[in-house]
Amino acid sequence: MLTVDFTRFPLAAGDRVLDLGCGAGRHAFECYRRGAQVVALDQNGEEIREVAKWFAAMKEAGEAPEGATATAMEGDALNLPFPDDSFDVVIISEVMEHIPDDKGVLAEMVRVLKPGGRIAVTVPRYGPEKICWTLSDAYHEVEGGHIRIYKADQLLARMREAGLKPYGTHHAHALHSPYWWLKCAFGVDNDKALPVRAYHKLLVWDIMKKPLATRVAEQLLNPVVGKSFVAYATKPHLPKAEA
């Protein structure tokens, strides 16, 4: 289940990509399949080891084209172990809402992104996320949980302040918003509640089968209740005098 829309965020074979806070690796895997040279970085060592196993399995199965590379590594988003201007593309998906120093993370991403490079940032959308916070303290008051809710204009302003030039936005995963509202209403850790179990089955069916009816429904509902807000931006080239 991808949050970044690669029809709006073009990726060329050979692009050097950083998936920052990669988690289970969903975007890193897609970039690898598209022929990129991928670095998947996360502070969670257990998840990174799983991502590395999947990269190896994908290579063995021939899922990545010739020339594509993939590396999984532990790291700190506020102190990236890469030189300036290292990547053509940076993706940070559902991460910034967890980090107190979001300006510091943006500064590091801009530092390692090449001039002319592209960045995709996704965060929980304000409205659906606010409902979750209202329904359940346990949803966000956990170690490493969500510490802020972004409004769209606030995130875009942060990106501009960091030196990025936003060029497009959209919302994603409308069908997932009701699931999280149910989880928050019945207990975040209560997976046995009948409405939660029933809706989860619907989501699994949708992800596996991709029926036309739910694809159309989600497209129609995304502008209204899309769970994620997605912003795309470029890092401008320096003026010749500064360069």
For 152-208, the pLDDT digits (tens) are 999 999 999 999 999 999 999 999 999 999 999 999 999 999 999 999 999 999 999
User: What is the model's pLDDT at position 240?
Assistant: 55
pTM across the whole model: 0.94
Hey, which residues does 199 pair with through a beta bridge? none
The b/e string for 26-53 (b: 16+ C-beta within 10 A; e otherwise) is: ebbbbbbbbbbbbbbbbeeeebbeebbe
What is the token pair recorded at 144? 């490493």
User: What is the model's pLDDT at position 19?
Assistant: 98
Residue 145 in domain:
yes
Average pLDDT for 226-230: 98
Residue 90 in domain:
yes
Residue 155 in domain:
yes
For 60-99, the pLDDT digits (tens) are 999 999 999 999 999 999 999 999 999 999 999 999 999 9
User: Could you tell me the CATH number of the domain that includes residue 122?
Assistant: 3.40.50.150
Residue 218 in domain:
yes
Q: Which domain holds residue 152?
A: 75-233
Confidence of residue 143 (pLDDT cuts 50, 70, 90): confident
Residue 128 in domain:
yes
Q: How far, CA to CA in Å, does 149 sit from each of 14, 98, 114, 135, 201?
A: 35, 10, 29, 15, 28
Residue 242 in domain:
no
Residue 39 in domain:
no
Residue 129 in domain:
yes
Confidence of residue 144 (pLDDT cuts 50, 70, 90): confident
pLDDT higher than 90, residue 242: no
Tally of structural domains, the chain: 1
Pairing of strands 228-234, 87-93: unpaired
> If you search the block for the tokens 């999280």, which residue do you land on?
180
Handedness of CA 128, 171, 110, 153 (dihedral sign): negative
